[in-house]
Structure 1
């Protein structure tokens, strides 16, 4: 019996569970509602399902990379993006610090791009599975920047 299913389950639980825990402890609240937001700001209900899907994808990609390329640059970049991802909400919503959150999300964007580049030859599927995540973080970066400018 292979430990592959357990590895996938562990990574999905780590990422989805961590994301849900952080989200539950850093709810947007009244402060966020009071901020001026750009016209392209999506309705609040969009965030939970999008993040849930992305967190499952991130977990799957992490497990794939761990199983095949544990000591690779791609794996280090995967862990870096997770740390940056998990730091964003506490900075933005918890500390109400959109500027620090902007710095973190730009680092997150770079780490995702780095992961895709590092994975492209060794695991094209993992690289491709990160493209929706890259698109969402690019959008979230623009949203973070717009909130900074408007407030």
Structure 2
């Protein structure tokens, strides 16, 4: 007789997902200490969001990202989905330091385009097992497309690295 597989506490796993996403948020926050100053210094398109919008939007998005990962986990999600999710978190973590702390909107643009494709792939992988997990990532994907367009405009309007 084999021993039953121990079940992980789903609420503890939810905390792990929130913890992973919180690390990304904290790194972004630390790298964005001069974000308002940098953002105002750059020429921007007329449709650029005010800096005060980014914090609340990202707070909601980070909650949705954590919930999406947890929802996918609850379906015994496949390794590919988790790999794409993790790569997406890493690319997300890199964007703010590249753009604000590193001062390289061009490298940040490369990063966010890779992030767009990664999140799009993650949505597709999640959808196979957890439609809810995929749907929870859609606001994030829409915001990323907006942020990518903004990053493109900033590169085009400014003589930046």
- TM-score, normalised via structure 2 length: 0.87
Q: In terms of Rg, which structure is larger?
A: 2
Partners of 1:21 and 1:95 lie apart in 2 by 13
Q: Which runs of 5+ in 2 are unaligned?
A: 1-6
Misfit runs of 4+, over 4 Å: none
Q: 1:15 to 1:26 in 2, by over 3 A?
A: same
- Residue 68 in 1 paired to residue 75 in 2? yes
CA distance in 1, matches of 2:31, 2:108: 16
- How many residues were matched structurally? 151
Q: Who is 1:92 aligned against?
A: 99
CA distance in 1, matches of 2:136, 2:99: 26
Aligned pair 1:5/2:16, yes or no? no
Q: TM-score by structure 1 length?
A: 0.92
Q: In the TM superposition, what whole-angstrom CA distance separates every residue of 1:90-146 from its partner, at most 9, and x where no partner exists?
A: 000011000000000000000010011112121111011110000000000000000
1:30-87 deviation line (CA, Å, top 9, x unaligned) = 3332110111111111000100010011111122223433542111100010000000
* Runs (5+) with no aligned partner, structure 1: none
